[in-house]
C-alpha cells in the first residue's frame, strides 16, 4: 500500500503542524528572531511523531477492525507499519534529546507526553481512544503540549501567553475530534471503542460540540479584551455564520454520514482559520 496515498486524507497529520508553527510565531513575537536550526529540528521531530501516530492508528485499527467493520474490503495494513511507527518515534526521541541538550530539560518532558499520546491513543494496554479519553489527549497534544514545546525550544521558558493561545488551539481540535467520531458511532461501539460520542450518544455529543465551539470564541474574545492576543485574531469570528450552518447540518444529519460530511469539512476549515488568524495576529502584533 502506498503510504502517501494512505495518509493524504488524514487531516490530523497536517493539523499537527499548525500548533507547532503557532508556538514558533509567538516565540518570534516575543524575541524578534528565531533560532532556525532549532526550528528545523523541531519541525522534523514533530513531523516524525505525526507520521508515527498515523501508522499506529492504521495498524491497531486494522487489528481491532475499527473503521472497516461495515466494509466488504479487507484491511490491507502490513505489519511493518508498527515497526515503522516505532522507528519514527525513535528518531523523534533522538531529535528531542538533542534539543534538550541545546535548550533545557522541558523538551524531553514534552517529548514524553507526546509519546504517551502518540502510541497509547490506540495502542495497548492503555488505548486512550477506547476509554473515553482520546479526545482530551488529542486536545492536549495538539494544544498545550505542542504549542508550549514549540515555544520552549526558542525561548527556553514557558509563558502565560502561549499557554492561553494553546488552550484555544487544543479546544478547537478537541471539537473536531468529537465531530469526526459521530459518523463512526456504530462501528466504534461494535468494536468496543468507548469514546465520548459512544458514551454520550450522538445528540448529546453535538451539545458538547456546541459548548466546545462556543468556548473557543469566548476564549478568543477574552484574550483580545485582556490584550493577551492581538486584536487581529478576532478575524476568525467571521466563520461564526458558517459554524452555525454546520451545527444545523450536524443536528439534522447525524445519522446520514454522507450529508454529515459538510459539518466535518466546515469545522476542519474553521480550525485552520482560527489557528491561522492567531498566528498572523502575532506576526503583525
Q: Mind giving me the DSSP string for 49-67?
A: HHHHHHHHHHHHHHHHTTT
pLDDT above 70 covers what percent of the chain? Answer: 90
Hey, where are the domains in the chain? 9-284
Q: What is the pLDDT of residue 58?
A: 83
Whether residue 72 is predicted with pLDDT greater than 80 in this model: the reply is no
Whether residue 105 is predicted with pLDDT greater than 80 in this model: the reply is yes
Task: Name the one residue in this structure whose C-alpha cell is 479519553.
Answer: 133
| Domain range 9-284, CATH class | mainly alpha
Mean pLDDT of the chain: 88
Q: What is the pLDDT of residue 190?
A: 86
pLDDT tens string 168-226? 999 999 999 999 999 989 888 888 889 999 999 999 999 999 999 999 999 999 999 99
Q: What is the pLDDT of residue 2?
A: 43
| pTM attached to this predicted model | 0.90
pLDDT tens string 30-55? 999 999 999 999 999 999 999 998 88
Whether residue 111 is predicted with pLDDT greater than 90 in this model: the reply is no
Q: What is the pLDDT of residue 1?
A: 41
pLDDT above 90 covers what percent of the chain? Answer: 65
d(CA 42, CA 26): 15
Q: What is the pLDDT of residue 47?
A: 92
- Would you report the helix, strand and coil content of the chain in percent, each value rounded to 5? 80, 0, 20
Q: Are the CB atoms for 156 and 104 separated by under 8 Å? A: yes
Q: What is the pLDDT of residue 228?
A: 95
Q: Are the CB atoms for 138 and 157 separated by under 8 Å? A: no
Give the DSSP letter of residue 144. Answer: I
Query: Taking each helix axis from N to C terminus, what angle separates 146-155 and 17-31, rounded to the nearest 10 degrees?
Result: 30
Amino acid at each position: 500500500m502506498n503510504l502517501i496515498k494512505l495518509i493524504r486524507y488524514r487531516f490530523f497529520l497536517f493539523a499537527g503542524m499548525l500548533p507547532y508553527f503557532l508556538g514558533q510565531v509567538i516565540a518570534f513575537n516575543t524575541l524578534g528572531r528565531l533560532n532556525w536550526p532549532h526550528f528545523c529540528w523541531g519541525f522534523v521531530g514533530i513531523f516524525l511523531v505525526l507520521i508515527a501516530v498515523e501508522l499506529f492508528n492504521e495498524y491497531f485499527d486494522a487489528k481491532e477492525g475499527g473503521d472497516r467493520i461495515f466494509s466488504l474490503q479487507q484491511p490491507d495494513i502490513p505489519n511493518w507499519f508498527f515497526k515503522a511507527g516505532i522507528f519514527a518515534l525513535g528518531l523523534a526521541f533522538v531529535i528531542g534529546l538533542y534539543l534538550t541538550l541545546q535548550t533545557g530539560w522541558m523538551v524531553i518532558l514534552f517529548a514524553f507526553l507526546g509519546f504517551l499520546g502518540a502510541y497509547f491513543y490506540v495502542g495497548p494496554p492503555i488505548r486512550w481512544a477506547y476509554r473515553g479519553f482520546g479526545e482530551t489527549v488529542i486536545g492536549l497534544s495538539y494544544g498545550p503540549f505542542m504549542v508550549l514545546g514549540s515555544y520552549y525550544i526558542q525561548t527556553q521558558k514557558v509563558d502565560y501567553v502561549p499557554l492561553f493561545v494553546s488552550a484555544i488551539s487544543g479546544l478547537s481540535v478537541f471539537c473536531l475530534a468529537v465531530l469526526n467520531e459521530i459518523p463512526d458511532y456504530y462501528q466504534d461501539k461494535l468494536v468496543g471503542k468507548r469514546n465520548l460520542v459512544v458514551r454520550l450518544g450522538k445528540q448529546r455529543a453535538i451539545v458538547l460540540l456546541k459548548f466546545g465551539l462556543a468556548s473557543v470564541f469566548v476564549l478568543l474574545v477574552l484574550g483580545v479584551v485582556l490584550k493577551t492576543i492581538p486584536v487581529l485574531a478576532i478575524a476568525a469570528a467571521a466563520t461564526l455564520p458558517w459554524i452555525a450552518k454546520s451545527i444545523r447540518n450536524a443536528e439534522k444529519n447525524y445519522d446520514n454520514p454522507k450529508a454529515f460530511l459538510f459539518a466535518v469539512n466546515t469545522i476542519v476549515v474553521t480550525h485552520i482559520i482560527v489557528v491561522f488568524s492567531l498566528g498572523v495576529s502575532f506576526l503583525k502584533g
